[in-house]
Chain A
Amino acid sequence: AQTVTQSQPEMSVQEAETVTLSCTYDTSESDYYLFWYKQPPSRQMILVIRQEAYKQQNATENRFSVNFQKAAKSFSLKISDSQLGDAAMYFCAYRSGMYSGGGADGLTFGKGTHLIIQP
């Protein structure tokens, strides 16, 4: 079974600064997908970014980018120019791919990192 570990229960950053959230995962599979989801106080889960394991290029979505280190099984999220609206819980998640024989089931989540933005 796969596991996802987020070692930072809480992080704080000044508005307009850059912050990096850590995520490591354990798997024996070669085909998989990784995600970062944001959960603001409204509790809705919002997709931030998606990474395909077979792609070397790190995914980027506006101010959000990842540092995907497949050999190290690391998938960190960098938020640039932090804004007050970025304050939320951030969850890292894993999903098996088709060529790993899986993917029909759901996501495996880490326990989350609470991000605080200081004005």
Chain B
Amino acid sequence: DGGITQSPKYLFRKEGQNVTLSCEQNLNHDAMYWYRQDPGQGLRLIYYSQIVNDFQKGDIAEGYSVSREKKESFPLTVTSAQKNPTAFYLCASSIDPPGQGQPQHFGDGTRLSIL
């Protein structure tokens, strides 16, 4: 079955440590996205990528980095510069030619906590 796989489901970070969240999709979608969700908040966009080897900052990119070396994969690194990383992280993809409003499909998410 096609879909988006995020791993791990739960992740713990120590002070000063970088951690990487994995996102893989087999939907053959060009566009991929990372969102952060805090309690009582909607999702906020961290980074997005429309094609391989290209990505753009979203609304809250500080303290995060991404890469897009393969169409299927869009890992997110939470760096030590992100002082409040505890949140639920969701990866999404879409077949979207930009601007045509196709819905985004989401993975099951990763919950990141500070040790």
Contact = CB atoms under 8 A, between A and B. Distances in A.
| Pairing of A with B | yes
A104 B30 CA distance: 11
Contacts of A98: 97-100
A110 B108 contact: no
B108 A42 contact: yes
B108 A107 contact: no
B101 A91 contact: no
Interface in B61-115: 88, 90, 92, 96-101, 103-109
Interface string A78-112: 00000000000001010111111011111111111
Contact of A50 (B33, B35, B101): B101
Contacts of B108: 42-44
B98 A106 contact: no
B43 to A, nearest CB: 5
A11 interface: no
Given A44-B106, A45-B90, A103-B96, A109 B58 contact: no
A33 interface: yes
Contacts of B105: 47
A75 interface: no
A108 B60 CA distance: 12
- Residue among A50, A91, A93, A95 facing the most chain B CB atoms (10 A cut-off): A95
B2 interface: no
A107 B45 contact: yes
Given A110-B42, A111-B40, A97 B106 contact: no
A15 interface: no
Interface in A44-65: 44-47, 50, 52
A10 B41 CA distance: 13
Given A97-B101, A98-B99, A112 B106 contact: no
Interface of A: 4, 9, 31-33, 35, 42-47, 50, 52, 91, 93, 95-100, 102-112
